[in-house]
Amino acid sequence: MTDSRLRHLTSVRDLDRAAALRILDTAEAFLEVTRRPVRKVPTLRGKTIINAFFEASTRTRTSFELAGKRLGADVVNIGGSASSTSKGETLRDTVATLDAMHADVIVVRHSASGAADYIKGRTRAAIVNGGDGMHEHPTQALLDAFTIRRHFGRLEGLTVAICGDIQHSRVARSNALLLPLLGAKVRLAGPQTLLPHDAAALGAETFTRLEPALEGVDVVMMLRIQQERLGSALLPTLREYARTFGLSRARLGLAKPNAIVMHPGPMNRGVEINDDVADGERSVITAQVESGVAVRMAVLYLCATEPGQPIGSE
Amino acid sequence: MRELIDSEGVSRGLRRVAGQIVERQRGAEGLVLIGVRRGGEPLAREIARWVRELEGHEVPVGSVDITLYRDDAATALPNPRIGPSQVPCALEGKRVVLVDDVVFTGRTIRAAIDALMDYGRPERIELAALVDRGGRELPIQPDYVVLRAEVGPRDRIDVVERPGGMVALICPAGSPSTPPTP
């Protein structure tokens, strides 16, 4: 058996197929936990998880916080304007401080690509990447894969269209790496200016128009248009974007009849996705949120438990 | 490796245990049988079958996985596989009989009790086991036992499905685990 134990998760590239499947299978058990009358297990009692979120985030931070608490760990959130980072402390010093506090896992969200990898060698804690710049967001890709697998019962042979601002999206990058590892095909669609030059290196088919990208796919994954990019040469107006790249009911008709619609959130309704699609019967957007907690429980559990000898079972 | 109980012994023993379970509370009202995964699952189903035969009463059967409740969960599982727990109904006010194949240190049962409590507050929890091999490290005793056995502390007891039914085997320390079905 290959050792698919997880030490850190900073990139989907840390995972082979067996390790990725191990996370998804473990998440199945945790999904059951999150649906019980008492949604908490004592597994990580006495462990400390620090959510170091140097970039704004509500849903990812809440999801990690709930995941840690439901495993019985002590969870501390730091970051934002109240943190010492805003007083000029370097990331390196912050990490040294957290290490001295004996954190077992540090979940890091940072605007700089590569921040999670930078921290990895500077602490004894396990590092989980909660999104770093334009690089990766591995737990989002895992929860997307988990949601798709729960819906269709498999990932092999499915085609997933990821649509929108591919260039700046760590969600797109992580998914484009993970889904093919699990047997699904990925299409990337976006305006020419928002498609990465290395899209081909990701091994995905690319499209500069939405319609052909949607034809016959099983999953449509819309990305949030990042409003801060507006007005630049990359993206003229919201209205123009909605007209050409917004997901409407008519456009969704190009996908397979049983195709599902996903969005990592938060949504810009009326821009990348219309209300009737977001709230429609093919949307699994709220299921993604529920999956998120279960998948993050699995990742934290696998990262926080240390290698050891199994004690004789009965 | 030698046979501790043959399939007939297992079958008769489980029927006796089913009778004792019914006898103790004068019926099967509010009874739920929960097997400790994975060894206890088939035994719980078998006891439920005998209760139905005795009482004409369908008893809910479920299972509980204790991986997340082990007292060594955070350090000792290099390759953890967490199985699903299936609790068939709300346990509030129910009489739960936990069923396991072998009771040894008592740590598994401690974990299983903790797990059950997260599904509600049963009126009472009792414990049935196929084999009690002694060696307890916690103050936990089974209420119903098919066989008490003196076994060396490093020997292993395997309960396996055979064509004629379930059997319990004693395997000396260090021997490879018994394949499920030949």
Catalytic site residue A137? yes
* pLDDT, chain A, mean: 90
Predicted local confidence at residue A61, as pLDDT: 96
Predicted pLDDT of residue A313: 34
**Residue A309 reports pLDDT greater than 80:** no
User: Which pLDDT does position A14 carry in this prediction?
Assistant: 92
- Whether A227 has a pLDDT exceeding 80, the answer reads no
Task: Write down the pLDDT at residue A303.
Answer: 92
Nearest to B76 among A28, A38, A310 (CB): A310
Average pLDDT (A124-146) is 96
Tell me the ipTM for this assembly. Answer: 0.75
Across the A:B interface, residue pairs with CB atoms under 8 Å apart total 76
Of A3, A37, A43, the CB nearest to B120: A37
Is residue A262 over pLDDT 50?
yes
Q: In this complex, do A304 and B85 lie within 8 Å of one another by their Cβ atoms?
A: no
The predicted pLDDT at position A307 comes to 52
A109 part of the active site: yes
pLDDT attached to residue A230: 65
Which pLDDT belongs to residue A37? 82
pLDDT at residue A1 above 60? no
pLDDT along chain B (182 residues), means of 10: 89 95 91 93 95 93 92 65 82 95 94 92 96 94 94 87 88 72 45
pLDDT score of A275: 96
pLDDT value for A234: 74
Q: Does B123 touch chain A (CB under 8 A)?
A: no
Pick from A80-94, A96-110, A218-232, B24-38: least confident: A80-94
What is the pLDDT averaged over residues A61-78?
A: 96
Q: What is the pLDDT of residue A231?
A: 64
Note if A60 is an active site residue: yes
Catalytic residue flag (residue A251): no
A152-161, A230-239, B168-177: range with highest mean pLDDT: A152-161
Mean pLDDT of A76-95: 79
pLDDT, mean of residues A115-139:
94
What's residue B36's pLDDT?
A: 95
- Say what percent of chain A tops pLDDT 90: 75
Average pLDDT for A284-301:
97
Per-residue tokens: A152: 């269709």
Beta-carbon separation of A42 and B69 below 8 A: yes
pLDDT tens-digit map of A18-56: 999 999 999 999 999 998 888 999 999 999 999 999 988
For residues A197-211, average pLDDT: 86
Share of chain A above pLDDT 70, in %: 92
Cβ separation of A302 and B81 shorter than 8 Å? Answer: no
| pLDDT band of A310, cuts 50, 70, 90 | very low
